[in-house]
Chain A
Amino acid sequence: MSVLVLAECANGKLKKNAFEAAAFASGLAAQTGADLVAVVLGSASADDLASLGKAGVARVLHASDSRLDRMTSTSYTKALQSAADAAGASIIVLSHSSVGKTIAPRIAVRRNMTLVPGVSALPENGTFRKSMFSGKAWGDLKPEGDQLVITVNPNTTSFTLGDGVATVESLAVELSDSDFDYKVKEVVNESAGMTPLPEAELVVSAGRGMKGPENWGIIEELAGELGATTACSRPVADIGWRPHHEHVGQTGIAIKPNLYIAIGISGAIQHLAGVNQSKCIVVINKDPEAPFFKAADYGIVGDAFEVVPKLTEAVRKLKNS
Protein backbone atom coordinates (compact mmCIF):
# COMPACT_ATOMS: atom_id res chain seq x y z
CA MET A 1 0.00 0.00 0.00
CA SER A 2 1.32 3.42 -0.85
CA VAL A 3 0.51 7.06 -1.40
CA LEU A 4 1.58 8.24 -4.87
CA VAL A 5 2.10 11.93 -5.59
CA LEU A 6 2.44 13.52 -9.02
CA ALA A 7 5.25 16.07 -8.71
CA GLU A 8 4.86 18.60 -11.52
CA CYS A 9 7.69 19.94 -13.61
CA ALA A 10 7.80 22.97 -15.87
CA ASN A 11 10.70 23.47 -18.27
CA GLY A 12 12.61 20.62 -16.66
CA LYS A 13 12.34 22.06 -13.13
CA LEU A 14 10.16 20.85 -10.29
CA LYS A 15 7.45 23.37 -9.49
CA LYS A 16 6.71 24.76 -6.04
CA ASN A 17 3.41 22.90 -6.09
CA ALA A 18 5.37 19.65 -6.52
CA PHE A 19 6.87 20.10 -3.05
CA GLU A 20 3.58 21.31 -1.65
CA ALA A 21 1.71 18.26 -2.96
CA ALA A 22 4.55 15.94 -1.88
CA ALA A 23 4.56 17.39 1.65
CA PHE A 24 0.78 16.94 1.84
CA ALA A 25 1.12 13.36 0.58
CA SER A 26 3.87 12.80 3.14
CA GLY A 27 1.51 13.89 5.93
CA LEU A 28 -1.16 11.59 4.56
CA ALA A 29 1.27 8.65 4.34
CA ALA A 30 2.27 9.27 7.95
CA GLN A 31 -1.40 9.21 9.01
CA THR A 32 -2.01 5.87 7.35
CA GLY A 33 1.41 4.24 7.76
CA ALA A 34 1.74 3.95 3.98
CA ASP A 35 4.87 4.37 1.86
CA LEU A 36 5.25 7.58 -0.10
CA VAL A 37 6.21 7.41 -3.77
CA ALA A 38 6.47 10.35 -6.17
CA VAL A 39 6.18 10.26 -9.93
CA VAL A 40 7.75 12.85 -12.22
CA LEU A 41 6.79 13.02 -15.90
CA GLY A 42 9.09 14.42 -18.59
CA SER A 43 12.58 15.89 -18.48
CA ALA A 44 14.03 16.61 -15.04
CA SER A 45 17.56 16.69 -13.63
CA ALA A 46 18.80 13.98 -11.27
CA ASP A 47 19.40 16.57 -8.54
CA ASP A 48 15.87 17.89 -8.86
CA LEU A 49 14.38 14.41 -8.67
CA ALA A 50 16.41 13.51 -5.58
CA SER A 51 15.43 16.81 -3.94
CA LEU A 52 11.87 15.51 -3.51
CA GLY A 53 13.37 13.77 -0.48
CA LYS A 54 13.17 17.17 1.23
CA ALA A 55 9.39 16.78 1.24
CA GLY A 56 9.60 13.29 2.72
CA VAL A 57 9.61 11.26 -0.51
CA ALA A 58 11.77 8.12 -0.32
CA ARG A 59 11.27 6.83 -3.86
CA VAL A 60 10.79 8.68 -7.13
CA LEU A 61 9.54 7.08 -10.34
CA HIS A 62 10.72 9.03 -13.35
CA ALA A 63 9.20 8.68 -16.83
CA SER A 64 11.76 10.69 -18.75
CA ASP A 65 10.11 10.63 -22.22
CA SER A 66 10.40 14.24 -23.38
CA ARG A 67 6.95 14.01 -24.98
CA LEU A 68 5.73 14.22 -21.39
CA ASP A 69 7.34 17.63 -20.88
CA ARG A 70 3.91 19.06 -21.62
CA MET A 71 0.63 17.62 -20.45
CA THR A 72 -2.08 16.18 -22.60
CA SER A 73 -4.92 14.62 -20.68
CA THR A 74 -4.58 11.07 -21.99
CA SER A 75 -0.77 10.78 -22.14
CA TYR A 76 -0.45 11.94 -18.53
CA THR A 77 -3.26 9.68 -17.40
CA LYS A 78 -1.58 6.69 -19.01
CA ALA A 79 1.77 7.52 -17.41
CA LEU A 80 0.16 8.09 -14.01
CA GLN A 81 -1.67 4.77 -14.39
CA SER A 82 1.68 2.99 -14.95
CA ALA A 83 3.14 4.71 -11.89
CA ALA A 84 0.12 3.82 -9.75
CA ASP A 85 0.48 0.18 -10.77
CA ALA A 86 4.22 0.21 -10.09
CA ALA A 87 3.73 1.82 -6.68
CA GLY A 88 0.65 -0.16 -5.70
CA ALA A 89 -1.04 3.14 -4.94
CA SER A 90 -4.20 3.26 -2.90
CA ILE A 91 -4.11 7.05 -2.67
CA ILE A 92 -2.99 9.41 -5.45
CA VAL A 93 -2.24 13.07 -4.68
CA LEU A 94 -1.98 15.88 -7.23
CA SER A 95 -1.93 19.66 -7.03
CA HIS A 96 -5.25 21.35 -7.82
CA SER A 97 -3.43 23.04 -10.71
CA SER A 98 -4.27 23.09 -14.41
CA VAL A 99 -2.58 19.68 -14.61
CA GLY A 100 -4.19 18.15 -11.52
CA LYS A 101 -7.69 19.36 -12.37
CA THR A 102 -7.35 17.68 -15.75
CA ILE A 103 -5.68 14.40 -14.84
CA ALA A 104 -7.17 13.64 -11.40
CA PRO A 105 -10.72 13.02 -12.70
CA ARG A 106 -9.45 10.78 -15.50
CA ILE A 107 -7.28 8.62 -13.27
CA ALA A 108 -10.03 8.41 -10.64
CA VAL A 109 -12.51 7.03 -13.15
CA ARG A 110 -9.93 4.75 -14.75
CA ARG A 111 -8.95 3.17 -11.42
CA ASN A 112 -12.43 3.40 -9.90
CA MET A 113 -11.14 5.56 -7.06
CA THR A 114 -13.05 8.32 -5.26
CA LEU A 115 -12.03 11.82 -6.31
CA VAL A 116 -11.71 14.48 -3.61
CA PRO A 117 -10.97 17.77 -5.42
CA GLY A 118 -9.34 20.93 -4.09
CA VAL A 119 -8.76 20.10 -0.43
CA SER A 120 -7.14 22.66 1.89
CA ALA A 121 -5.80 20.50 4.72
CA LEU A 122 -4.95 16.97 5.80
CA PRO A 123 -8.03 14.94 6.74
CA GLU A 124 -9.35 14.80 10.28
CA ASN A 125 -11.23 11.58 11.06
CA GLY A 126 -11.53 10.87 7.35
CA THR A 127 -13.04 14.29 6.60
CA PHE A 128 -11.40 16.68 4.16
CA ARG A 129 -11.93 20.43 4.31
CA LYS A 130 -12.52 22.24 1.04
CA SER A 131 -13.21 25.86 0.23
CA MET A 132 -16.62 26.29 -1.42
CA PHE A 133 -18.91 29.08 -2.63
CA SER A 134 -15.87 30.93 -3.98
CA GLY A 135 -14.22 31.17 -0.58
CA LYS A 136 -17.37 32.18 1.26
CA ALA A 137 -17.74 28.84 3.07
CA TRP A 138 -16.02 25.58 3.96
CA GLY A 139 -17.34 22.18 3.11
CA ASP A 140 -16.26 19.07 5.02
CA LEU A 141 -16.15 16.16 2.60
CA LYS A 142 -16.57 12.58 3.65
CA PRO A 143 -15.36 10.45 0.73
CA GLU A 144 -16.61 6.94 0.19
CA GLY A 145 -14.04 4.14 0.49
CA ASP A 146 -10.29 4.34 1.05
CA GLN A 147 -9.09 4.36 -2.56
CA LEU A 148 -8.77 8.09 -3.14
CA VAL A 149 -7.51 10.60 -5.68
CA ILE A 150 -6.95 13.92 -3.91
CA THR A 151 -6.08 17.32 -5.37
CA VAL A 152 -4.52 19.87 -3.02
CA ASN A 153 -5.38 23.53 -3.38
CA PRO A 154 -2.14 25.43 -4.14
CA ASN A 155 -0.79 27.83 -1.52
CA THR A 156 -3.21 26.72 1.21
CA THR A 157 -1.30 24.08 3.14
CA SER A 158 1.76 25.14 5.08
CA PHE A 159 4.72 22.85 4.77
CA THR A 160 8.35 22.71 5.80
CA LEU A 161 11.12 20.97 3.93
CA GLY A 162 13.74 18.73 5.50
CA ASP A 163 17.01 17.56 3.98
CA GLY A 164 16.17 14.04 2.78
CA VAL A 165 17.35 12.64 -0.55
CA ALA A 166 15.06 10.42 -2.61
CA THR A 167 16.19 7.45 -4.66
CA VAL A 168 15.21 7.60 -8.32
CA GLU A 169 14.04 4.75 -10.52
CA SER A 170 13.09 5.06 -14.14
CA LEU A 171 9.51 4.28 -15.06
CA ALA A 172 8.86 2.78 -18.48
CA VAL A 173 5.77 4.17 -20.19
CA GLU A 174 5.07 2.98 -23.72
CA LEU A 175 3.58 5.89 -25.62
CA SER A 176 2.24 5.85 -29.15
CA ASP A 177 0.68 8.75 -31.06
CA SER A 178 -2.80 7.60 -30.09
CA ASP A 179 -1.95 8.13 -26.41
CA PHE A 180 -1.98 11.90 -26.94
CA ASP A 181 -5.56 13.13 -27.12
CA TYR A 182 -4.59 16.47 -28.62
CA LYS A 183 -1.69 18.30 -30.13
CA VAL A 184 -0.14 21.35 -28.51
CA LYS A 185 0.86 23.41 -31.54
CA GLU A 186 2.25 26.45 -29.81
CA VAL A 187 2.98 27.76 -26.33
CA VAL A 188 2.94 31.47 -25.61
CA ASN A 189 4.59 32.65 -22.40
CA GLU A 190 2.38 35.32 -20.83
CA SER A 191 4.08 35.67 -17.50
CA ALA A 192 6.41 38.51 -18.58
CA GLY A 193 9.02 37.16 -16.18
CA MET A 194 6.64 37.24 -13.20
CA THR A 195 5.45 34.25 -11.17
CA PRO A 196 2.17 33.09 -12.76
CA LEU A 197 -0.87 34.46 -10.87
CA PRO A 198 -2.21 31.14 -9.53
CA GLU A 199 1.20 30.46 -7.96
CA ALA A 200 2.14 33.99 -6.89
CA GLU A 201 2.71 34.70 -3.19
CA LEU A 202 2.60 38.46 -3.68
CA VAL A 203 0.09 40.18 -5.97
CA VAL A 204 -0.39 43.86 -6.77
CA SER A 205 -3.74 44.46 -8.40
CA ALA A 206 -5.37 47.60 -9.73
CA GLY A 207 -8.75 48.69 -11.06
CA ARG A 208 -10.70 51.53 -12.58
CA GLY A 209 -9.36 53.94 -10.02
CA MET A 210 -6.20 54.07 -12.14
CA LYS A 211 -8.18 56.09 -14.73
CA GLY A 212 -6.41 54.68 -17.78
CA PRO A 213 -3.97 52.02 -19.00
CA GLU A 214 -1.21 54.61 -19.38
CA ASN A 215 -1.11 54.96 -15.60
CA TRP A 216 -0.09 51.38 -14.84
CA GLY A 217 3.60 52.25 -14.63
CA ILE A 218 3.42 52.93 -10.87
CA ILE A 219 1.61 49.61 -10.34
CA GLU A 220 4.28 47.72 -12.27
CA GLU A 221 7.04 49.52 -10.37
CA LEU A 222 5.58 48.55 -7.00
CA ALA A 223 5.09 44.96 -8.17
CA GLY A 224 8.61 44.89 -9.58
CA GLU A 225 10.13 46.16 -6.34
CA LEU A 226 8.17 43.57 -4.31
CA GLY A 227 8.79 40.74 -6.77
CA ALA A 228 5.00 40.52 -7.06
CA THR A 229 2.74 39.56 -9.96
CA THR A 230 0.32 42.14 -11.37
CA ALA A 231 -3.41 41.52 -11.58
CA CYS A 232 -6.52 43.57 -12.30
CA SER A 233 -10.27 43.80 -11.75
CA ARG A 234 -12.83 42.65 -14.29
CA PRO A 235 -13.94 46.06 -15.68
CA VAL A 236 -10.33 46.90 -16.45
CA ALA A 237 -9.84 43.65 -18.39
CA ASP A 238 -13.19 44.04 -20.16
CA ILE A 239 -12.41 47.52 -21.47
CA GLY A 240 -9.02 46.32 -22.63
CA TRP A 241 -6.78 48.31 -20.29
CA ARG A 242 -5.17 45.07 -19.16
CA PRO A 243 -4.99 41.53 -20.64
CA HIS A 244 -7.74 39.05 -19.69
CA HIS A 245 -5.32 36.65 -18.06
CA GLU A 246 -4.68 39.27 -15.36
CA HIS A 247 -8.35 39.37 -14.31
CA VAL A 248 -8.85 38.01 -10.81
CA GLY A 249 -12.33 37.49 -9.39
CA GLN A 250 -15.21 35.10 -9.50
CA THR A 251 -15.24 34.74 -13.28
CA GLY A 252 -11.53 35.27 -13.82
CA ILE A 253 -8.84 33.54 -11.80
CA ALA A 254 -9.30 32.84 -8.10
CA ILE A 255 -6.06 33.38 -6.20
CA LYS A 256 -4.85 33.02 -2.62
CA PRO A 257 -1.51 34.76 -2.29
CA ASN A 258 0.13 35.65 1.02
CA LEU A 259 -0.31 39.33 0.17
CA TYR A 260 -2.92 40.93 -2.09
CA ILE A 261 -2.66 44.68 -2.59
CA ALA A 262 -5.77 46.15 -4.26
CA ILE A 263 -5.37 49.65 -5.66
CA GLY A 264 -8.34 51.62 -6.96
CA ILE A 265 -10.63 48.58 -6.79
CA SER A 266 -13.95 49.17 -4.99
CA GLY A 267 -14.36 45.52 -3.97
CA ALA A 268 -17.51 44.23 -5.66
CA ILE A 269 -18.64 40.91 -4.22
CA GLN A 270 -17.61 39.11 -7.42
CA HIS A 271 -14.08 40.48 -7.12
CA LEU A 272 -13.86 39.53 -3.44
CA ALA A 273 -14.90 35.97 -4.30
CA GLY A 274 -11.69 35.56 -6.27
CA VAL A 275 -9.31 37.01 -3.67
CA ASN A 276 -10.91 36.53 -0.25
CA GLN A 277 -8.66 33.60 0.61
CA SER A 278 -5.54 35.74 0.43
CA LYS A 279 -3.69 35.64 3.74
CA CYS A 280 -3.29 39.42 3.96
CA ILE A 281 -5.31 41.99 2.02
CA VAL A 282 -4.28 45.63 1.63
CA VAL A 283 -6.72 48.11 0.12
CA ILE A 284 -5.76 51.52 -1.23
CA ASN A 285 -8.71 53.60 -2.33
CA LYS A 286 -9.60 57.27 -2.23
CA ASP A 287 -13.20 56.44 -1.30
CA PRO A 288 -13.38 55.66 2.43
CA GLU A 289 -16.75 53.97 1.80
CA ALA A 290 -15.30 51.43 -0.68
CA PRO A 291 -16.70 48.03 0.37
CA PHE A 292 -13.28 46.45 -0.05
CA PHE A 293 -12.10 47.98 3.26
CA LYS A 294 -14.48 45.62 5.09
CA ALA A 295 -12.55 42.64 3.70
CA ALA A 296 -9.10 44.15 4.22
CA ASP A 297 -6.44 43.69 6.87
CA TYR A 298 -4.77 47.02 6.16
CA GLY A 299 -6.11 50.07 4.39
CA ILE A 300 -5.08 53.47 3.19
CA VAL A 301 -7.63 56.08 2.16
CA GLY A 302 -5.80 58.16 -0.38
CA ASP A 303 -4.90 58.95 -3.95
CA ALA A 304 -3.13 56.00 -5.58
CA PHE A 305 -0.96 58.35 -7.62
CA GLU A 306 0.51 59.75 -4.41
CA VAL A 307 0.44 56.66 -2.19
CA VAL A 308 1.79 53.98 -4.52
CA PRO A 309 5.14 55.66 -5.36
CA LYS A 310 5.70 56.16 -1.62
CA LEU A 311 5.13 52.45 -1.04
CA THR A 312 7.55 51.56 -3.82
CA GLU A 313 10.18 53.81 -2.25
CA ALA A 314 9.56 52.26 1.19
CA VAL A 315 9.97 48.75 -0.21
CA ARG A 316 13.23 49.81 -1.87
CA LYS A 317 14.50 51.17 1.45
CA LEU A 318 13.44 48.01 3.28
CA LYS A 319 15.33 45.86 0.80
CA ASN A 320 18.45 47.99 1.15
CA SER A 321 18.35 48.10 4.94
Chain B
Amino acid sequence: MSEMAIPFAVLPRGANTRIEPVAPLADADRKPLTKKEVSADHPTWCPGCGDFSVLALYFKLIEKRRMHHEKITTVAGIGCSSRFPYFVQAHGAHYIHGRALPFASGVALSRPDLHVFVFGGDGDAFSIGGNHFTHTARKNVKLTYVVMDNNVYGLTKNQTSPTSPIGFKSKTDVWGSKDRPINPIKQAICAGATFVGRTTATNPNHVLAMMEQAMDHDGFSFVQVLSECVEFYPGAFDNANPRKGGAFAEVPKEHDVTDEYAAYRLAENLWPGHFGVFYKVQRPTKNANEAQIVTDAQAKVAGLEPWQILKKNFDRMK
Protein backbone atom coordinates (compact mmCIF):
# COMPACT_ATOMS: atom_id res chain seq x y z
CA MET B 1 0.00 0.00 0.00
CA SER B 2 1.42 3.33 -0.99
CA GLU B 3 1.54 5.95 1.70
CA MET B 4 0.51 9.49 1.08
CA ALA B 5 2.47 12.29 2.66
CA ILE B 6 -0.17 14.90 1.92
CA PRO B 7 -3.51 13.33 2.78
CA PHE B 8 -6.86 14.12 1.28
CA ALA B 9 -8.23 17.30 2.68
CA VAL B 10 -10.89 19.84 2.12
CA LEU B 11 -9.02 22.99 1.29
CA PRO B 12 -10.24 26.13 3.03
CA ARG B 13 -9.74 29.61 1.66
CA GLY B 14 -6.16 30.79 1.94
CA ALA B 15 -4.81 33.04 4.66
CA ASN B 16 -4.49 35.73 1.98
CA THR B 17 -8.26 36.05 1.70
CA ARG B 18 -10.61 37.75 4.13
CA ILE B 19 -13.81 35.78 4.32
CA GLU B 20 -16.04 37.58 6.81
CA PRO B 21 -19.62 37.36 5.57
CA VAL B 22 -20.31 39.33 2.44
CA ALA B 23 -23.82 40.61 1.96
CA PRO B 24 -25.46 39.14 -1.10
CA LEU B 25 -25.85 41.46 -4.04
CA ALA B 26 -29.08 41.00 -5.95
CA ASP B 27 -29.01 41.67 -9.68
CA ALA B 28 -31.61 44.38 -9.18
CA ASP B 29 -29.30 46.18 -6.77
CA ARG B 30 -26.42 46.25 -9.20
CA LYS B 31 -25.65 49.55 -10.81
CA PRO B 32 -23.68 49.86 -14.04
CA LEU B 33 -19.99 49.85 -13.19
CA THR B 34 -18.42 53.24 -13.57
CA LYS B 35 -15.11 53.85 -15.25
CA LYS B 36 -13.69 54.59 -11.83
CA GLU B 37 -14.81 51.23 -10.49
CA VAL B 38 -13.32 49.22 -13.33
CA SER B 39 -10.09 51.06 -13.92
CA ALA B 40 -7.00 49.88 -12.09
CA ASP B 41 -3.39 50.90 -12.88
CA HIS B 42 -2.85 53.95 -15.03
CA PRO B 43 -1.90 52.60 -18.47
CA THR B 44 1.79 52.47 -19.25
CA TRP B 45 1.14 53.33 -22.91
CA CYS B 46 2.71 56.36 -24.56
CA PRO B 47 0.52 59.46 -24.75
CA GLY B 48 -1.49 59.30 -27.95
CA CYS B 49 -1.36 55.51 -28.26
CA GLY B 50 -4.44 54.04 -29.94
CA ASP B 51 -4.76 51.43 -27.20
CA PHE B 52 -6.20 54.05 -24.79
CA SER B 53 -9.24 54.21 -26.95
CA VAL B 54 -9.77 50.44 -26.89
CA LEU B 55 -9.45 50.38 -23.10
CA ALA B 56 -11.90 53.26 -22.69
CA LEU B 57 -14.40 51.46 -24.89
CA TYR B 58 -13.98 48.22 -22.98
CA PHE B 59 -14.95 50.19 -19.89
CA LYS B 60 -17.87 51.61 -21.81
CA LEU B 61 -18.94 48.13 -22.87
CA ILE B 62 -18.79 46.93 -19.26
CA GLU B 63 -20.94 49.85 -18.18
CA LYS B 64 -23.38 49.66 -21.07
CA ARG B 65 -23.93 45.94 -20.78
CA ARG B 66 -24.08 46.10 -16.98
CA MET B 67 -21.53 43.34 -16.64
CA HIS B 68 -21.16 41.88 -13.18
CA HIS B 69 -17.83 42.86 -11.74
CA GLU B 70 -16.72 39.36 -10.82
CA LYS B 71 -17.59 37.96 -14.23
CA ILE B 72 -15.32 40.30 -16.17
CA THR B 73 -12.47 38.11 -17.30
CA THR B 74 -9.61 39.68 -19.17
CA VAL B 75 -6.69 37.70 -20.56
CA ALA B 76 -3.62 38.86 -22.49
CA GLY B 77 -0.25 37.68 -23.69
CA ILE B 78 2.82 39.88 -24.04
CA GLY B 79 3.20 43.21 -25.78
CA CYS B 80 2.24 46.85 -25.23
CA SER B 81 -1.45 46.15 -25.71
CA SER B 82 -1.25 42.95 -23.67
CA ARG B 83 -0.72 45.01 -20.53
CA PHE B 84 -4.47 45.45 -20.69
CA PRO B 85 -5.46 43.28 -17.67
CA TYR B 86 -3.50 45.51 -15.27
CA PHE B 87 -5.60 48.49 -16.27
CA VAL B 88 -8.91 46.73 -15.68
CA GLN B 89 -10.17 46.38 -12.11
CA ALA B 90 -11.42 42.81 -12.53
CA HIS B 91 -10.18 39.23 -12.66
CA GLY B 92 -7.32 39.22 -15.11
CA ALA B 93 -4.45 37.09 -16.32
CA HIS B 94 -1.29 38.34 -17.98
CA TYR B 95 0.12 35.23 -19.55
CA ILE B 96 3.18 34.43 -21.68
CA HIS B 97 3.92 35.70 -25.16
CA GLY B 98 1.61 34.44 -27.87
CA ARG B 99 -0.28 31.95 -25.72
CA ALA B 100 -3.18 34.02 -24.46
CA LEU B 101 -5.65 32.19 -26.72
CA PRO B 102 -5.06 28.66 -25.43
CA PHE B 103 -5.00 29.99 -21.87
CA ALA B 104 -8.31 31.74 -22.49
CA SER B 105 -9.67 28.59 -24.15
CA GLY B 106 -8.91 26.70 -20.95
CA VAL B 107 -10.94 29.25 -19.04
CA ALA B 108 -13.77 29.33 -21.57
CA LEU B 109 -14.09 25.54 -21.80
CA SER B 110 -13.97 24.91 -18.07
CA ARG B 111 -16.03 27.94 -17.04
CA PRO B 112 -19.02 28.30 -19.37
CA ASP B 113 -20.43 30.97 -17.02
CA LEU B 114 -17.71 33.43 -18.09
CA HIS B 115 -17.23 35.28 -21.35
CA VAL B 116 -13.50 35.79 -21.76
CA PHE B 117 -12.06 38.82 -23.49
CA VAL B 118 -8.56 38.37 -24.86
CA PHE B 119 -6.55 41.45 -25.80
CA GLY B 120 -3.27 41.45 -27.65
CA GLY B 121 -1.18 42.83 -30.43
CA ASP B 122 -0.19 41.75 -33.92
CA GLY B 123 3.03 40.04 -32.81
CA ASP B 124 1.23 38.04 -30.14
CA ALA B 125 -1.61 37.09 -32.49
CA PHE B 126 0.02 36.44 -35.84
CA SER B 127 3.69 35.75 -35.17
CA ILE B 128 4.53 33.86 -31.99
CA GLY B 129 0.90 32.89 -31.44
CA GLY B 130 0.00 32.25 -35.08
CA ASN B 131 -0.65 28.57 -34.55
CA HIS B 132 -3.04 29.21 -31.70
CA PHE B 133 -4.95 31.81 -33.70
CA THR B 134 -5.62 29.23 -36.40
CA HIS B 135 -6.70 26.47 -34.07
CA THR B 136 -8.80 28.52 -31.68
CA ALA B 137 -10.65 29.91 -34.70
CA ARG B 138 -11.17 26.53 -36.33
CA LYS B 139 -12.41 24.98 -33.10
CA ASN B 140 -14.76 27.91 -32.63
CA VAL B 141 -14.04 28.34 -28.94
CA LYS B 142 -16.51 30.86 -27.54
CA LEU B 143 -14.49 33.94 -26.59
CA THR B 144 -13.67 37.37 -27.99
CA TYR B 145 -10.23 38.20 -29.31
CA VAL B 146 -9.45 41.87 -29.81
CA VAL B 147 -6.17 42.43 -31.63
CA MET B 148 -4.79 45.93 -31.41
CA ASP B 149 -2.81 45.98 -34.61
CA ASN B 150 -0.16 48.70 -34.88
CA ASN B 151 1.94 47.03 -37.60
CA VAL B 152 5.08 47.22 -35.46
CA TYR B 153 6.71 45.76 -32.36
CA GLY B 154 6.39 48.55 -29.84
CA LEU B 155 7.30 47.05 -26.46
CA THR B 156 10.67 45.91 -27.77
CA LYS B 157 11.07 49.24 -29.54
CA ASN B 158 10.60 49.15 -33.27
CA GLN B 159 11.12 45.83 -34.98
CA THR B 160 9.20 44.56 -38.02
CA SER B 161 5.91 42.87 -37.16
CA PRO B 162 3.99 40.25 -39.18
CA THR B 163 1.59 42.98 -40.31
CA SER B 164 4.22 45.61 -41.17
CA PRO B 165 3.76 46.64 -44.80
CA ILE B 166 6.44 46.00 -47.40
CA GLY B 167 8.94 48.83 -47.27
CA PHE B 168 8.38 49.55 -43.57
CA LYS B 169 11.66 50.63 -42.03
CA SER B 170 12.36 49.23 -38.59
CA LYS B 171 15.46 48.38 -36.57
CA THR B 172 15.40 44.88 -38.01
CA ASP B 173 14.72 46.07 -41.56
CA VAL B 174 16.60 49.32 -41.86
CA TRP B 175 16.34 49.10 -45.63
CA GLY B 176 12.58 48.44 -45.46
CA SER B 177 10.70 45.22 -44.84
CA LYS B 178 10.58 42.81 -47.77
CA ASP B 179 8.26 40.13 -46.36
CA ARG B 180 4.64 39.98 -47.40
CA PRO B 181 2.55 40.99 -44.40
CA ILE B 182 -0.20 38.84 -43.00
CA ASN B 183 -3.74 39.91 -43.82
CA PRO B 184 -5.47 39.35 -40.46
CA ILE B 185 -8.98 39.35 -41.91
CA LYS B 186 -8.19 36.76 -44.56
CA GLN B 187 -6.25 34.76 -42.00
CA ALA B 188 -9.24 34.69 -39.66
CA ILE B 189 -11.70 33.74 -42.39
CA CYS B 190 -9.48 30.96 -43.70
CA ALA B 191 -8.86 29.60 -40.22
CA GLY B 192 -12.58 29.27 -39.60
CA ALA B 193 -13.37 32.19 -37.31
CA THR B 194 -17.15 32.60 -37.14
CA PHE B 195 -17.09 36.33 -36.43
CA VAL B 196 -14.58 38.60 -38.14
CA GLY B 197 -14.81 42.33 -37.53
CA ARG B 198 -12.54 45.26 -38.23
CA THR B 199 -12.39 48.70 -36.72
CA THR B 200 -10.00 51.49 -35.93
CA ALA B 201 -9.19 53.09 -32.60
CA THR B 202 -9.87 56.55 -33.98
CA ASN B 203 -13.59 55.76 -34.37
CA PRO B 204 -14.79 55.10 -30.78
CA ASN B 205 -18.44 54.41 -31.56
CA HIS B 206 -17.44 51.86 -34.15
CA VAL B 207 -14.99 50.15 -31.78
CA LEU B 208 -17.75 49.83 -29.18
CA ALA B 209 -20.20 48.47 -31.76
CA MET B 210 -17.69 45.87 -32.93
CA MET B 211 -16.81 44.74 -29.40
CA GLU B 212 -20.47 44.52 -28.49
CA GLN B 213 -21.35 42.43 -31.53
CA ALA B 214 -18.31 40.26 -30.93
CA MET B 215 -19.35 39.65 -27.34
CA ASP B 216 -22.85 38.69 -28.41
CA HIS B 217 -21.60 36.23 -31.00
CA ASP B 218 -21.86 32.60 -29.98
CA GLY B 219 -18.43 31.43 -31.07
CA PHE B 220 -14.90 32.61 -31.70
CA SER B 221 -15.16 36.33 -32.40
CA PHE B 222 -12.20 38.23 -33.75
CA VAL B 223 -11.90 41.99 -34.00
CA GLN B 224 -8.94 43.70 -35.61
CA VAL B 225 -8.53 47.22 -34.24
CA LEU B 226 -6.10 49.47 -36.05
CA SER B 227 -4.29 51.12 -33.17
CA GLU B 228 -1.59 53.58 -34.00
CA CYS B 229 1.85 53.37 -32.40
CA VAL B 230 2.69 57.06 -32.14
CA GLU B 231 6.24 56.28 -31.17
CA PHE B 232 7.40 53.80 -33.83
CA TYR B 233 4.84 53.98 -36.59
CA PRO B 234 3.17 57.36 -36.42
CA GLY B 235 0.61 58.05 -39.10
CA ALA B 236 0.28 54.37 -40.00
CA PHE B 237 -3.49 54.58 -40.24
CA ASP B 238 -4.00 58.20 -41.24
CA ASN B 239 -5.55 57.02 -44.48
CA ALA B 240 -8.37 55.46 -42.43
CA ASN B 241 -8.93 58.61 -40.38
CA PRO B 242 -11.12 61.31 -41.89
CA ARG B 243 -9.63 63.85 -39.45
CA LYS B 244 -6.22 63.19 -41.02
CA GLY B 245 -7.48 63.34 -44.57
CA GLY B 246 -8.24 59.63 -44.87
CA ALA B 247 -11.48 57.73 -45.44
CA PHE B 248 -13.41 55.53 -43.06
CA ALA B 249 -15.18 53.17 -45.39
CA GLU B 250 -17.74 50.94 -43.75
CA VAL B 251 -18.41 47.43 -45.02
CA PRO B 252 -20.99 47.96 -47.80
CA LYS B 253 -24.57 47.41 -46.69
CA GLU B 254 -25.15 44.87 -49.45
CA HIS B 255 -22.25 42.69 -48.30
CA ASP B 256 -23.47 39.23 -47.27
CA VAL B 257 -21.64 38.48 -44.02
CA THR B 258 -22.30 34.76 -44.42
CA ASP B 259 -20.58 34.64 -47.81
CA GLU B 260 -17.06 33.44 -47.10
CA TYR B 261 -15.73 34.26 -50.58
CA ALA B 262 -17.29 37.72 -50.62
CA ALA B 263 -15.75 38.40 -47.22
CA TYR B 264 -12.39 37.22 -48.48
CA ARG B 265 -12.62 39.45 -51.53
CA LEU B 266 -13.67 42.40 -49.40
CA ALA B 267 -10.50 41.89 -47.35
CA GLU B 268 -8.31 42.05 -50.44
CA ASN B 269 -6.99 45.53 -49.79
CA LEU B 270 -6.61 46.63 -46.20
CA TRP B 271 -4.74 49.86 -46.87
CA PRO B 272 -6.97 51.22 -45.45
CA GLY B 273 -9.76 48.82 -46.51
CA HIS B 274 -13.25 48.51 -45.02
CA PHE B 275 -14.51 48.56 -41.45
CA GLY B 276 -17.31 46.55 -39.93
CA VAL B 277 -18.34 42.91 -39.86
CA PHE B 278 -16.71 40.99 -42.72
CA TYR B 279 -17.91 37.56 -41.82
CA LYS B 280 -20.40 36.12 -39.37
CA VAL B 281 -21.83 32.61 -39.39
CA GLN B 282 -23.23 30.20 -36.85
CA ARG B 283 -21.36 26.95 -36.40
CA PRO B 284 -21.50 24.72 -33.33
CA THR B 285 -19.01 26.02 -30.80
CA LYS B 286 -16.33 23.89 -29.20
CA ASN B 287 -18.05 24.63 -25.92
CA ALA B 288 -21.39 23.30 -27.15
CA ASN B 289 -19.81 20.23 -28.74
CA GLU B 290 -17.97 19.38 -25.54
CA ALA B 291 -21.07 20.00 -23.47
CA GLN B 292 -22.95 17.53 -25.67
CA ILE B 293 -20.23 14.90 -25.16
CA VAL B 294 -20.53 15.44 -21.41
CA THR B 295 -24.33 15.20 -21.50
CA ASP B 296 -24.19 11.94 -23.46
CA ALA B 297 -21.51 10.46 -21.23
CA GLN B 298 -23.29 11.44 -18.03
CA ALA B 299 -26.57 9.97 -19.21
CA LYS B 300 -24.88 6.56 -19.12
CA VAL B 301 -23.82 6.97 -15.50
CA ALA B 302 -26.88 8.85 -14.27
CA GLY B 303 -27.37 8.71 -10.52
CA LEU B 304 -23.86 7.51 -9.77
CA GLU B 305 -21.42 9.35 -7.53
CA PRO B 306 -17.97 9.95 -9.01
CA TRP B 307 -16.47 7.18 -6.89
CA GLN B 308 -19.09 4.77 -8.17
CA ILE B 309 -18.29 5.63 -11.78
CA LEU B 310 -14.63 4.98 -11.10
CA LYS B 311 -15.47 1.78 -9.25
CA LYS B 312 -17.20 0.45 -12.36
CA ASN B 313 -13.96 0.86 -14.27
CA PHE B 314 -11.92 -0.75 -11.52
CA ASP B 315 -14.30 -3.68 -11.38
CA ARG B 316 -13.50 -4.36 -15.02
CA MET B 317 -9.81 -4.44 -14.20
CA LYS B 318 -10.02 -7.21 -11.68
A complexed with B = no
Interface residues of A (CB under 8 A from B): none
